[in-house]
Amino acid sequence: MRSALQITTTVLPGNKIEVQLPPGSEGQEVTVFVVLPIAEKQQMNILEFIEQARQQHAGKSVEEIDRQIQAERDSWDS
């Protein structure tokens, strides 16, 4: 039977973590899952998303955007 252990730790400098397992674990293969907190930046509402998309395409004509989309689609076929 598999057992699971949940440990909360702090990310160390260099984006590293250290995990201390119970005695008897040395030499065993384990699987580690890392669950990152949701950054506030990722919680963009729809109006912010639309504004960001508009800023990325500001000053481009419809034809330029259509060419860019077509080029992306063409790259899928190759």
pTM over 0.75? The answer is no
What average pLDDT score do residues 29-56 get? 81
Contacts of residue 3, Cβ cutoff 8 Å, sequence gap at least 6 = none
In a domain, residue 48? The reply is: yes
In a domain, residue 72? The reply is: yes
User: What domain count does the chain have?
Assistant: 1
Q: CA-CA distance, 64 to 28, in Å (whole number)?
A: 57
Report percent pLDDT > 70 for the chain: 91
Domain region containing 63: 40-77
Q: CA-CA distance, 7 to 34, in Å (whole number)?
A: 10
- Predicted local distance difference test score (pLDDT) of residue 13: 92
Instruction: Provide the sign of the torsion angle of the four alpha carbons 7, 8, 14, 18, taken in this order.
Output: negative
* pLDDT (tens digit per residue) in 49-60: 888 888 877 788
Closest CA to 4 of 16, 27, 22: 22
In a domain, residue 61? The reply is: yes
